Amino acid sequence: MYVESIELNNFRNYKSLNISLDQGINVFYGNNAQGKTNLLEAIYIGGTTRSHKGSKDKELIRFGNDESHIRMMVRKQNQQSKIDMHLKKNRAKGIAINGTPIRRASELLGFVNMIFFSPEDLNMVKSGPSERRKFMNMELGQLDSYYLYHLVQYNRILNQRNALLKEIPYQGNLMDTLQVWDEQLIQYGSVLMKCREQFAETLNSIVSKLHFQLSGGREHLEVFYEPDTPLEQFEERIVKERERDLKFRTTTAGPHRDDLSFMISGVDIRKFGSQGQQRTCALSLKMAEIEMVRKAAHDTPVLLLDDVLSELDSERQNCLLDGIRDIQTLITCTGLDEFIHHQFSINKLFKVTSGTVKVMNDTIG
């Protein structure tokens, strides 16, 4: 699968843009603050409906305008499809696939599989649990519509339950309705926990081999799912924590507090690993995502690398570049030294300057 072209109107610092992409390695270079990351962000939104930065739709629209458009042509299993996305300041975005509007943004997830890798992702291991849950949710959401449905429902129920917990102190008669939300929270949450446990097992089998190679055969990495509450105790825990939830006016137990742990020789590298170990682990996780998409979707994802190469040493650069030769990759960088030094082939080269993109050469290297 690959993106054939991307067209933007009034997106971030792009007034108008229409470029064709190669199905191999596409490199966008230029100085900082010219629009390289904005371009990758637009493509990621076009495939997943959301910004990797968590930006709101109104923040994506070019200053002085009320709406923005993203149009992508993608080729999946030799069939061409068009994705149209209409971003608006004060209304929900509109999305159409091949001219047919979709009712929910979640329907687009899985249509195109995308993996975004930025320097911030190298801190995923040492960051808080929310970043690792985001990693699980994004990968599972693209690959498993069953999981995505239950995640959307769980978050909806969680928000409604939390709103109820805030109202009960003022309206005691609402207490009887709490049981209804608890039952639904357990129903949807249990599915999330089962899917995440299986995800962690599959991830572990892939990432351990990749990490062993990246570490030069020195380290054996293990990934474990850390549920906030064991599945068999989930219902009991929700009931047990009800009084505490009422006190703090929020739901204190459930899969919205889950985590992943990373162990090397019995040491939890989230807390005690060196920076090098943590960054190697993060790189292994991103490379494992590629393999998981290949196996689950029987296709390759689109890989978006936002100025990541400059954050990696030469050994890790080589491992990453060697692993992406057969998939469409869009790379941003400030210079081309990494590619020249590694004699790495570039299929299409673009120079980005102040919201304009110029094709420099079709093949380099």
Mind listing the pLDDT tens digit for each residue in 133-145? Answer: 999 999 999 899 8
Reply yes or no on whether the pLDDT at 79 is more than 50: yes
Contact indicator for 328, 292 with CB cutoff of 8 Å: no
Q: E strand or H helix at 351, and its extent? A: strand 348-353
Output the pLDDT for position 353. 95
Q: For 319, which DSSP code?
A: H
More confident residue, 75 or 338: 75
Neighbours of 48 (CB within 10 A): 22
Separation between Cα atoms, residue 206 and residue 223, nearest integer Å: 10
Closest CA to 10 of 53, 72, 50, 66: 66
Share of the chain above pLDDT 70, in %: 97
Q: Which two structure tokens, joined as six digits, stand for 195? A: 């899917």
What pLDDT, on a 0 to 100 scale, did the predictor assign at position 364? 47
d(CA 363, CA 365): 7
Q: What is the mean pLDDT of residues 29-53?
A: 94
- Residue 342 pLDDT grade (very low, low, confident, very high; cuts 50, 70, 90): low
- CA 74 to chain centroid: 19
Residue 305 has pLDDT above 80, yes or no: yes
pLDDT at 362 over 70: no
Instruction: Give the pTM.
Output: 0.90
Q: What is the pLDDT of residue 39?
A: 97
307: left (phi over 0), alpha (psi -120 to 50) or beta: left
pLDDT over threshold 70, residue 296: yes
The arithmetic mean of pLDDT across residues 210-237, rounded, is 94
* Per-residue pLDDT at 193 exceeds 70: yes
Residue 93: closest CA among 50, 42, 64: 50
| pLDDT tens-digit series, residues 254-289 | 999 999 999 999 999 999 999 889 989 999 999 999
pLDDT at 343 over 70: no
What per-residue confidence (pLDDT) applies to 365? Answer: 46
Mean pLDDT (the chain) is 91
Whether the CB-CB separation of 114 and 301 falls below 8 Å is answered with yes
What b-and-e string marks burial along 83-98, b requiring 16 or more CB atoms within 10 Å of the CB? bbbbbeeeeebebebe
Task: Report residue 52 as tokens.
Answer: 């990797």
What mean pLDDT comes out for the span 53-71? 93
Look at residue 261 in the predicted model and tell me its pLDDT.
97
Q: Is the pLDDT of residue 21 over 60?
A: yes
Mean of pLDDT values over 226-239 = 97
Residue scoring higher pLDDT (362 or 249): 249
Within 13 Å and on the Cβ side, how many CA atoms surround 20?
5
pLDDT of residue 76: 87
pLDDT at 248: 96
Q: Categorise residue 298: left if φ over 0, alpha if ψ from -120 to 50, beta otherwise.
A: left
Note the pLDDT of residue 257.
Answer: 98
The order of strands in the sheet holding 2-11 is 14-20, 2-11, 67-76, 79-88, 94-97, 100-101
Per-residue pLDDT tens over the stretch 149-187: 999 999 999 999 999 999 998 887 888 899 999 999 999
Q: What per-residue confidence (pLDDT) applies to 340?
A: 65
How much is the pLDDT for 315?
Answer: 80
Give the strand order in the sheet containing 259-264.
221-226, 259-264, 267-268
DSSP β-ladder status, 348-353 and 356-361: antiparallel
The conformation of residue 223, written as its DSSP 8-state character, comes to E
Q: How many CB atoms lie within 10 A of CB 269?
A: 20
